[in-house]
Amino acid sequence: MKSRILAILIAVLVLGLLITIAVYSNLAIYISIIAIGLALALQKYVASYFGFFIIVFSNMLHVGDRIRIGSYKGDVRHIGIFYLTLDEVGEDEKLGGELTGKILHIPNLIVLDQPVLNFSKGCVKNSKPMQCDYIFDEIRIPISLDSDIKKAASLLEEIINAEDKVFLHQSKEAFVDSYPTFLREAETNRKVLIHIEPDNIWLKGKFVAPYRLRNELRTLMYLKFIESIEKDSSIKLT
């Protein structure tokens, strides 16, 4: 709101100056210079203003969506004429993708030249639009080189199948006709992959979950895996 008032005041002042010059002087060159200066001063506001309409009419995002624009990530709180207001969300290494409590104000013009990643997906169910927030996520567990790799991979896949079953079923119902490729992969492809490094072996498990619950689900899987190997010396974490 403050930026909008500032832009209006600048426009009014410059317009008044233009009228004064037009009335008391015939120096058209000064009018041209001032007009160019006005255009340069307000170009970001103009771009953000048009960005507002692009956001609204393209349906690329809505209030409540979790999005990433460039290096910014958050939940959309408000779509203003000049700014997007986001509740900031931390990355996986910072608060595990949870809300940080900070507010981000991003000029709408950024939407015009930055990729927009929307974690909330729109789909149709019974001819009615709805929001579907299911995504493919990953759990990574490091084990020692002398561990029983097949047994560890089998254990993790068993845990994923058990804990992710309900979310996989819910996501299939939610997407209906807009059934995405990643859900077909979740049903047919291996859920656990193995990556070998010089010092350890990584088990990489894939699962489907609502993006707001993926951290809780991942934590539950970690706890289940740790609990299962506590009395099994053939699988060691690194």
- Tens digits of per-residue pLDDT, 161-177? 888 888 877 777 766 66
Position 95 scores a pLDDT of 44
Contact 102, 88 (CB under 8 A): yes
Place of tokens 């060691």: 236
Domains of the chain (ranges plus CATH)? 1-119 (2.30.30.60), 122-229 (3.30.70.100)
**Alpha-carbon gap, residue 66 to 210, rounded angstroms:** 11
> Which tokens hold the place of 99?
């809300």
Position 1 scores a pLDDT of 53
Position 119 scores a pLDDT of 75
Could you tell me the pTM of the whole model?
0.60
Antiparallel, parallel or unpaired: β 192-196 and 201-210: antiparallel
Position 136 scores a pLDDT of 78
pLDDT less than 50: residues of the chain: 2, 93-95, 124, 129
> Which tokens hold the place of 18?
């233009």
